Structure 1
Amino acid sequence: MIFQLAIGSLVIAISVAIQAEMFNLLSTRFDMLLRFERRYLHRFANTGAIILAVLFILLVHSINVWLWAVVFLLTGAFKTLEPSLYFALVSYTTVGFGDITLPPDWRLLSGMTAANGFLLFGWSTAYMVELVRRTA
């Protein structure tokens, strides 16, 4: 149990670092992106900037889902990539279909995956609110 919690905590810390660094990257470039789009897209510049930001945020979440999938593979919780990735995505998004589950030795990671996704999606929502505010 302690080993599962340690692994899950490490993965959560890594995913938070990934999201923080990627959001920082977008934040430092967002005003430049907005100016570029206003020059060429005129009336649709704000919409274009928000679309790119949403796609970027989805990329960040995809990276975090892949991180969890790799952890599930490395721990031996799943033997192949497809169920590992599927389970990571379903758990991270808190959909939780339950059609695939972790073995009892690793099931604490499913809750940690869901908690991680829940927190990072909340952070992403707050971040998007700030980006929309910056387009005004």
Structure 2
Amino acid sequence: MSLPLQIMWGSFYLGVCFAVELALLVWCSLTIQAFAHHWHRYSHTIRIAAPIAFTLFCIVLAHTIQVWIWAGAWMIGDVMPDWNSALYFSLVTYTSLGYGDIVLGPGLRIFGAFASVAGLLAFGLSTAYMVALMTRLFEGKLPR
């Protein structure tokens, strides 16, 4: 794949991943706001633990979907021999772990790097979201 195509397709998949991340974090926020008034009946522990647990669920779901998106890209492009290899490569690339036991040829390296960028930015956004949530929880600023 030529460099311009790698950049174009990498940007496309990166954008899809951002849309997934944003959609799930917005849904998470709206759900927490909708249920916050129900949690006041429970102990302080539940009022703090429930939003954190739900947020972790949303974050893990968002990252899992994004890894599957990249695995799909490898399968659509006939780059990986099977879904197991595609998921494995997507996961180690998305997390920037990069064992190096599966490597891409020169015609896909830039495209592959976009998967790593998607993971780095998504983990950063997820972390910032979790810190903001925890700050609001411990300051008692969630709706009741």
Q: Is TM more than 0.5 here?
A: yes
Q: Normalized per residue, which structure has more helix?
A: 1
Q: Name 1:48's counterpart in structure 2.
A: 50
1:55 positional shift: 1.7
8 Å contact 1:68–1:113 — kept in the other structure?
A: yes
CA contact (8 A) 1:66 1:88 kept: yes
Tell me the residue number matched to 2:63. 61
Partner of 2:27: 25
Which ranges in structure 1 are unaligned for 5 or more consecutive residues? none
Question: Which protein shows a greater Rg?
Answer: 2
Q: What is the Cα deviation at residue 6 of structure 1?
A: 0.9
- Counterparts in 2 of 1:1-136, with a 5 A limit? 1-40=3-42, 42-45=43-46, 46-135=48-137, 136=140
2: CA distance between counterparts of 1:35 and 1:102? 50
Q: Which has the higher contact order (CA 8 A, sep 6+)?
A: 2
CA contact (8 A) 1:69 1:87 kept: yes
Q: Deviations over 1:18-63 (max 9, x none)?
A: 11111111111112333333424x1322023202211210110100
For the 8 Å contact 2:71–2:90, the answer to whether it is kept is yes
Q: After TM superposition, where is structure 1 displaced by more than 6 Å over at least 4 residues in a row?
A: none
Identity of aligned residues (%): 31
Q: Contact 1:69–1:85 at 8 Å: present in 2 too?
A: yes
TM-score with structure 1 setting the length? 0.91
TM-score, length-normalised on structure 2? 0.86
Show structure 2 runs of 5+ residues with no match.
none
